[in-house]
Amino acid sequence: MKNDDVDSMLSKVDVPQPEGIKHQQELKIPLLSYKRSSRAGLWLLALPLTFALTILLKYQLGIFSSFLDILEGAFNAMSGNAVLTYLIPAIFIGLPLFAMIINFLAFCHFASNKETKELLVTIKFRPLNVAIFLLSFAVLVYFFLPDALP
Amino acid sequence: MNEETLLKDIQNDPQKFGDLYDAYYKNIFGYAYRRTANYDVAKDIAAETFLKAYIGIGRFTWRNISVLYWLYKIATNEINKYFRSRKYEPESLHRVLEEYGVDVTHYSNAESERIMLEEDLQRHREFVKLHELITTLDTKYQDVISLRYYEQKSIREIAVILRKKEGTVKSLLSRGIAKLREHLTGE
C-alpha cells in the first residue's frame, strides 16, 4: 500500500453528516444573555469606593500623602460645582445601590410556582458576586453616616 | 450573509451573534462529532466554541477571512484538549450554566438525538474504522487529516484555520498519511 492509496481511501470515505439536530436552540438563549455583572458592579463602585477609602485612610487611620490630598481636593471641587452637587447623591448612593442589586440578583434567584403558591428562592455559590454585594452594602452604609457625603 | 457587516452589527448589538450561531452551529458540531465520534462531547465542544467566540468576538478583526475559520480554530483547540485527557471539561460553558442555571447537557431530546446519530454512525463502518486509526495519531496529524478529508478544506484553508504556513500543512498531511499507512499495513 502506498501513501496515494491512503489518500484515495480517505477521499472516498463517506463521512457522517449529522442532520436534524435541534439541541442548539437550548444553548442559544443563555449564550446570548451572558453578562459580566461582577465587573459591572466593580466599575459602579470605583468612584464612591475611592472617596470612602480616601477619607478612611486620611482621617480614621491618620495616613497622610500627597496622593490622598489630590483625591480629597478633587472630591471637594465636585461638591463646590453647582451641577455636580446634584449628581453627588446619584454617584455615591445610586451607583453602589445599583451594584448591590445586580450582584444580589446574580447569586439569588427567585421563581414562583402559581400552582402550589410557592416562592422558590435559590442562592447560588458565587463568591465574587457575594463579595461585591457586601462591599456595595458597606459603601452604602458609610454614605448614610452623618456628614459622610462630600 | 455579509460577515463584515454582521460583525459591525454585533459590536452594537451582541444579540446579532445569534445569526452567526445559526449559520455555523451545524458546521462546528459536525466537525466536533466527526473528530470525536461522541455525541455528548461534540455537543459540549460546539457549545464551548460558540461561547468562547461570543466572549471574544470584540477582539475579532475582519481581514476578509470568514469567521467560520476562527470557529474551526477554537473548536480544534477544544477537540485537542479532549484528546489530551480523554475527557472534556468545557470551562466557559460550566461558568455560564452555573450563572444561569441552564444545563444544556440535559436537553430533553438528547437521548433520541444521540441514538439517531449513533445509528447513523454505525452505517458509516469505513469511516468508523479509519476514525479509530486516525485517533491513535498525534493531534497535529489528526487536525490536518480531519480538516482535509472530513471537512473538505483546501491546504490554504487549513493553513488559515491552524495558523500555519501552507508548506507546514502539506508536510504534516504527508507525514500523517504515511503514519496512517503504517497503521493500516501493520508496519
Q: Does B129 contact chain A (CB < 8 Å)? A: no
- Residue B26 has a pLDDT of 93
Nearest by CB to residue B34, choosing from A16, A30, A33, is A16
- Tens of pLDDT, residue by residue over A89-140, are 778 788 888 888 888 877 777 777 777 778 878 777 777 788 888 988 888 8
| A residues 34..93 contacting B (CB < 8 A) | 34
Q: Cβ contacts (< 8 Å) between B177 and chain A: which residues?
A: 3, 6-7, 10
Radius of gyration of chain A, Cα coordinates, nearest whole angstrom: 27
**Closest-CA residue to A45 (of A123, A134, A107):** A134
The Cα-based distances of B179 to A114, B138, B142, B144 in angstroms read 63, 10, 11, 13
Helix-helix angle A127-143:A95-107, to 10 degrees? 150
Question: For A79-99, how does the pLDDT look when each residue is reduced to its tens digit (9 = 90+)?
Answer: 777 777 777 777 878 888 888
Helix, strand and coil percent figures for chain B, each rounded to 5: 80, 0, 20
Which residue ranges in chain B fall short of pLDDT 50? none
The letter for the amino acid at B52 is K
Q: Cβ of A34 and B17 within 8 Å?
A: no
Whether the model pTM is above 0.80: no
pLDDT tens, A33-76? 665 555 566 778 887 888 778 877 877 777 777 877 877 777 77
Q: How many residues does chain B have?
A: 187
Please name the residues in contact with A4: beta carbons below 8 A apart, sequence gap of 6 or more.
none
Separation CA B179–CA B174 (nearest Å) = 9
Q: Give the closest residue to A16 by CA, choosing from B151, B83, B183.
A: B151
As given in the structure block, the three cell numbers for residue A104 are 444580589
Q: Which three cell numbers stand for residue B179?
A: 503514519
Express each pLDDT in A17-28 by its tens digit.
Answer: 988 888 877 777
What's the rounded mean pLDDT across residues A139-148?
75
Q: Are B127 and A15 in contact, with CB atoms under 8 Å apart?
A: yes
Report CB contact under 8 Å: A26, B55: no
Alpha-carbon distance of B70 to B3, in angstroms, equals 13
The predicted pLDDT at position A61 comes to 77
CB contact under 8 A, A16 and B46: no
For CA atoms A9, A15, B150, B77, the dihedral sign is: negative
Q: Is the interface score ipTM higher than 0.85?
A: no
Put simply, the answer to whether A31 touches B96 (Cβ < 8 Å) is: yes
